[in-house]
Every structure is written in structure tokens, then in C-alpha cells.
Amino acid sequence: MNPLNQYFSTPYNTAPFSKIKTEDFLPAFKKAITKAKAEIDAIVNNPDAPNFENTLEALDFSGQELNRISSIFFNLNSAETNDAIQKIAQDVSPLLSEFSNDIALNEKLFQRVKAVYNIKDTLDLTEEQKTLLITNYKSFSRNGANLPEDEKEKLREIDKELSQLKLKFGEHVLAETNNFEMLITNESDLSGLPDGAKEAAKQLAESKQKEGWLFTLDYPSYIPFMTYADNRELRKTLSLAFGSKAFKGDALDNQDIVLKIVKLRYERAQLLGYKTHAHFVLEERMAKTPEKVQEFLNELLEKAKPAAEREFANLQDFAKELDGIDNLQKWDSAYYSEKLKQKLFNLDDEQLKPYFKLENVILGVFTVAHKLYDLNFEEIHDIDTYHDDVLTYKVTDKNGDLVSIFYADFFPRQGKRNGAWMTSFKSQYIKDGKNERPHISIVCNFTKPTKSKPSLLTFNEVTTLFHEFGHALHGMLANTTYQSLSGTSVYWDFVELPSQVLENWCYEKDALEDFAKHYETGEIIPMELIKKIKESSTFHEGMQTLRQLSFGLLDMGWHGLDPSNIKDVKQYEINAFKDTQLYPDIKENCMSTAFSHIFQGGYSSGYYSYKWAEVLDADAFEYFAEEGIFNKTVANKFKENVLSKGGTEDPMVLYKRFRGQEPKPEALLKRAGLIEK
């Protein structure tokens, strides 16, 4: 029997990873798709008149086995992939795309949904039920239900091709990341690097039976080298390798894929009656239109650019004065920024890292969640995982009731993509009177422990952990009836609020004192370091803001206009960056060919949402700061109106219910030091 098609009789109904073989996935998917189709047929062929329960509710609860298998498989494809899994992903993606199109273009099903939608004002529905009805109706119309048959067929073809292109894009980026290695055999070339980075590089070389120190494009290897290595030529080598991923004109090149993706997305939007892909996407976002996004990005650009230009001029002067650098390049950015930061604040990551042992930071984020939301975390060892690195926790509330199962996977390895993300293996929903609790996971790529040191995090990694844990809380505290509206199933420009707001606690004395303790002496982080962390938090904020805005503008450039005549990816990108560029362009580099957020992930026409959510999070945290960062009343309002509600209501309605007003950008601009406090 295929374990994936059974009920998981495991502790807490968790995924039975040790029993699942790679070859189980394809047959399991096929069987689950057949089952899900039968469930849809039962809805369509129900002889009773369409109503909310027999149509909308039945539709939401259909395909649960398929959803579960998909979440397990695609999480593995991101965190523990191999050639066989990638091959299955290529085979499965068109099947899933075809299945979702079968639903989206099912005329009889749409007619049933439409029949209920047409009488919605006469029905006694809760807010959540209204949202489910409207969301489903719009989902059908936005996916072609009102199109004639030949255009529906065209849509199917586009979706199938897009699903394969996105996978291929991601595979190329991962292969390029894994293929590059820089082996250093002369110890003098390591000058400037902290001992921890050297030891990690030595261990990596040994693990591959090599003599010397090995550096890769994985962030825990790449970032320290770019930040601290004195050897400018080697920084250049590493930077060029990182910046030229999938842009070498070889078998792993993504330029044609980028052009195909944007043209197909545009064609799809036109088919559905939208001006561009961005117009299609943004209809279901807080921002609503590309014009509004452009206005938002330009307003921030206007505020940030003068500060960014001042900061860049200062950095140029500093690099010239220190090392006679006449032409500051991208591979100098992190190195001289760190040197200048040390000079101005007498603070560097190496000074801070001893206070941020991974285990302590985990305990710290758990403590913050306990103080705010009365959550308790207990590490448990009877749950299957997909890798020995993965930690598992049982999360309970103050009454001891189960809130969630929580997985945490912290270290880089072959087969795991770069970056950090939150995901789930099982969603929350309420069925037959039972509140099914979610299984939530965060995946990161932090510095591994070495023979002599535990995993010590940079401050940036600390904020990353808090960020992903903020997403995890959104998933864990979900409390909705319907799976499709649960947890992080919210508008994309709202989803980053819970994650980004939690980062603020990393800068607060009352929170830091709970967990920032020296890993050898147990000494609590000194007040002067906390003060410096706060003061330095706005260091180069103008340049950082400009960088984020450049990515948002590039995204809108690809998706907010007709891309039909674009022939040259690099040239188009240069044009999109013209208002935000500080460093000279590097001809070998291209951002778009490795911009996984928008070409593989779900951020197309949505990259602006990081900045949008920063406006929300700064405004929200101002409320916490005014009342006390662990104030239970404010925390409870945030939990009840934001974290538990998922996508059950319009996010602006939820936000105003929490805050009492719409968010204002002033809090962000003040926090960033871009306007006077």
C-alpha cells in the first residue's frame, strides 16, 4: 500500500517521512487526482439545487489528500531535493496544472457556484462564508470560466507551459549555485575572515575530500566572504559567480525562460481581459492596481534616494581614504560597509555572534511567543522528519491544548535551496466540529556548528529567524473554518506583516535580555551593544531601501507592461534599474535570470509587498511600543484580528480593527531615519 494515499496513523497525524519512498510520489499523485476528480464530479452531479453547503463548502473540503501529498512533495523539492525528485516535479506539475484547470474551467461547477453567488444577498452567511463564496466565484472568472471553449483550451496550454518553465528556472538556479566552488589553498588569501568562517570553509573542503578552504554561493559561505575577505580579486570572483547565475549562454541559462514566462503571463492576462499580468495579480491585493504600486514605490524612492546618494558618496570617500579605491564596485559593497559600520559604531557581527547561539535564539523567539500569545513549545522526538537536521516541537496553549506541530530545519546542504521560508505540511481547518490543527515548518540556511563552536548567528540571521517565525505564528494560530482561507492564505501584500512585525523584538532590550547570552560565559548582552544595535539599525537604510525598490521596480517592469517586444533581458533590466542604480553595472551579471521570487516563487507583480508590509509593520509596532512591547491587550488584538483570521476578511478591514486606523508611512520613514522623528 502506498503510504501517501493512507490516513497517516502517526503521532498527531504527521507525515510518515521514513515510510515514503521517492517512487511512491507519482502513483500517489495520480491516485489522489483521480479521487479529487471524483469528489468534484459528486458536487457537479448532485441532484439537489446548489446551495452554500453542497457546493462551496463541499468544494473547499475536496482534494484534501491531494493537497497533503502536494505539500509534502513540494516542500521536499525545496528542502531536500535530488535528480529523481526534480524529475517527478517535472512530470507532476503539468498533471496538477491540468487538474486545477479542470476545476477552473468546469462549466457545470461554475454554474453551481454562480447560482449561489447570484443569491448571496438573500443568504444568511457569516463573513467567512461570504469571503469563501466571493473568492471562489472570482477565482473561476479570473481563471477563464467565462471564456469560450477555444480560449479555455488556450489557457490550459499556457498554464501547463508556465508550470514547467517555472520549475526549469528554479532547477537552473539551484544547479548554478551547487556547481560553483572556490577552493583556496593559500592561507594568506583568507585575511580578514573571522575564525568561524575559516573553520566552516575548512570543514566543507574536508567533507569533499579537498585540501584547503572551500567557499560556495550558499549564503552562510558567500556572505562572510563578501563582508570580511581583504582579497578584492577573490571577492570579485565570488561576486561575479553569484551575479551571473543562469546568465552564461549555456545549458543552464535562464534568459529565454524569463522572456517566455513574461510573454506567456501577459498573453494569459490579455486572454482573461486584463491589460497586463500586474493588473490581473493586483486586483487581488491590497494595492489593487499597478498605478498604485508605482506611485507607492516612487514616493519611497523620492524619500530614500537623497539619503542613499549621500550614503554612497560617504562610502566611496571612505574606501578611497582607507585603501585608495577609485572605483567602488559591487564586490566592495558589503566589505567597506562593514568597515565603515565598525568605525562609526564600533560594532561588528563577530562581536555580536557569541551572544546569538542558535539554541538560545530559538528559545528567545519561543519566549516572545509565550509572553505575547501564551504559547508553549516542547521539543518532541517521536515525529518523523525528512532529514536528521530537522527539529520538531509540540505547541500548546495555556490550557495545554494542541495549537500546532512545528518543524525547524536550519542548516544548508546539497539539495536545499538558498534563503529562508515558512511552509506547512498540513493546514488548519474545522470540519465535523473538529478543529484540525496545522503542521508548520520553517526552513533556513544558517551557519552550521563547527568542531569547536556551536552555531552562532549573525544579527541578520537572528532577524531572519524571527521573520520566518512570524510567518509560522500566522500559520500556527490560524483559526478559520475553511482551509483555503486559513493561516497565510491572505493577500500577498498582507502576508509579510506578521513576519516583519516580529523582527522588531530583536532590537528591544526587554526581549534581547531573555535570550542574547554569551555562549561561553552566560553573560547577558551588554546594554551598550543593545544601544549600538539600535543605532546601527538605520545604517545605510537609504541604500538598502533603494535596493529593495529596485527589485520592486524590476518586477513591475517585467509584469506591468506589454513585454512582447523585449529581446534582450539584460538591456531591459538596465533600463528598469536606471533610477535606483548606485554602483557601476557589471556586464557579466544579471539579476532577472536568478530572480526566483518572481520567476519561480509567487511574487510576480508582488515584490513591492515587502516594502508595503514594512509600512504596515512599522505602523503596527508603533502601537506595541506605545503600550509596551509585551502588552497583552495589544497582543490579543493582533492575534484575534490578524494572526487567527487568515484570509476571511479584507486585510484593510482587519488591520483597521486592530489598529483603529489605516497604516501611515511616517512610522516606517521615521524608523528608517529617512525623516525626522
Q: What is the DSSP string of 142-193?
A: HTTTTS-HHHHHHHHHHHHHHHHHHHHHHHHHHHHHHH--EEE--GGGGTT-
Which of these three, 195, 220, 243, is where a domain ends?
A: 243
Q: How far apart are CA 268 and CA 142, in angstroms?
A: 10
Whether the pLDDT of residue 643 is over 90: the answer is yes
Residue 330 lies in a domain: yes
Do 516 and 664 share a domain, yes or no? no
Instruction: pLDDT band for 348, please (50, 70, 90 cuts).
Output: confident
Cβ within 8 Å of residue 523, ≥6 positions away: 517
Tell me the average pLDDT across 258-284. Answer: 97
Looking up residue 563, the CATH number of its domain turns out to be 1.10.1370.10
Convert 124-160 to b/e letters by CB count within 10 Å (16 or more is b). ebeebbbbbbebbbebbbbbbbebeeeebebbbebbb
Do 186 and 335 sit in the same domain of this protein?
no
Q: Is residue 546 part of a domain?
A: yes
Write down the pLDDT at residue 204: 95
297 and 307 co-located in one domain:
yes
Query: What is the three-class DSSP state of 356?
Result: coil
Instruction: Report yes or no on 162 lying in a domain.
Output: no
Per-residue confidence (pLDDT) for residue 673, from 0 to 100: 85
Q: Is the dihedral of CA 283, 284, 290, 296 positive or negative?
A: positive
Q: Looking at the DSSP assignment, which residues form a beta bridge with residue 473?
A: none
Residue in 608, 605, 620, 607 with CA at minimum distance from that of residue 651: 620
**Looking at the domain assignment, is residue 569 inside a domain?**
yes
Are residue 24 and residue 82 in the same domain, yes or no?
yes
Contact (CB, 8 A) for 504 and 616? no
Per residue in 605-629, pLDDT tens?
999 998 998 999 999 999 999 999 9
Residue-level pLDDT at 664: 84
Coil, strand or helix: which one is 410? coil
> Once rounded to an integer, what is the mean pLDDT over residues 93-100?
92
Flag whether 172 is in a domain: no
Instruction: Tell me which of 226-230, 414-418, 542-546, 590-594 is least confident.
Output: 414-418
| pLDDT over 80 at 104, yes or no | yes
Contacts of 188 (CB under 8 A, 6+ apart): none
At 677, the pLDDT band (50, 70, 90 cuts) reads low
Interatomic CA distance for residues 541 and 357, integer angstroms: 26
Residue 366 within a domain: yes
Residue 392 lies in a domain: yes
Range of the domain at 8: 3-104+106-146
Do residues 115 and 205 both lie within one domain? no
Instruction: Determine contact, residues 170/417, Cβ cutoff 8 Å.
Output: yes
Residues annotated catalytic, as ranges: 468
Question: What number is the average pLDDT over the span 588-604?
Answer: 95
pLDDT in tens, 505-525: 999 999 999 999 999 999 999
For 220, other C-beta atoms within 10 Å of its C-beta total 23
The confidence band for 672, taking pLDDT boundaries of 50, 70 and 90, is confident
Cell numbers placing 502: 516580529
Q: What is the pLDDT of residue 447?
A: 86
**For all residues of the chain together, what is the average pLDDT?**
95
Question: 280 with 218, same domain?
Answer: no
Arithmetic mean of pLDDT, 146-158: 92
Strand, coil or helix: what is 552? helix
As a whole number, mean pLDDT of residues 191-195 equals 95
Whether 90 and 204 map to the same domain: the answer is: no
Choosing from 88, 123, 146, the residue where a domain stops is 146
* CATH code at position 43: 1.20.1050.40
Same domain, 373 and 327: no
Which are the contacts of 39, defined by CB distance < 8 A and separation ≥ 6? 58, 62, 63
The residue out of 243, 273, 295 marking a domain boundary is 243
Q: What's the pLDDT tens digit per position in 155-176?
A: 989 999 999 999 999 999 999 9
| 442-463 confidence digits (pLDDT tens) | 999 998 898 899 999 999 999 9
Separation of alpha carbons 24 and 3, rounded Å: 8
**Residues 469 and 587 placed together within one structural domain of the fold:** no
Q: Residue by residue, what is the 3-state secondary structure of 597-662?
A: HHHCCCCCCCCCHHHHHHHHHHHHHHHHHHHCCCCHHHHHHHHHHHHCCCCCCCHHHHHHHHHCCC
Q: Cell numbers of 84, please?
A: 529523481
Domain membership of residue 154 (yes or no) is no
Is the same domain home to 529 and 544?
no
Burial class from Cβ neighbours inside 10 Å (0-12, 13-18, 19+) for residue 35 reads middle
Q: How does residue 669 score in pLDDT terms, banded at 50, 70 and 90?
A: confident
Q: What cell was used for 386?
A: 525528512
Q: Are residues 416 and 545 in the same domain?
A: no
The backbone region for 583, taken as left when phi is positive above 0, alpha when psi lies in -120 to 50, beta otherwise, is beta
From residue 451, alpha-carbon distances to 84, 194, 196, 275 in Å are: 33, 15, 10, 57
Backbone angles phi and psi of 243, in degrees to 5? -80, -10
Cα–Cα distance, 405 to 476 (Å, whole number)? 8
The candidate with the shortest Cα–Cα distance to 476, out of 396, 358, 381, 361, is 396
The number of folded domains in the chain is 4
Section 558-585 average pLDDT: 97
Q: Measure the CA–CA gap between 300 and 310, rounded to whole angstroms.
A: 16
Q: Which residues pair with 431 in a beta bridge?
A: 434
Whether 522 and 511 share a structural domain: yes
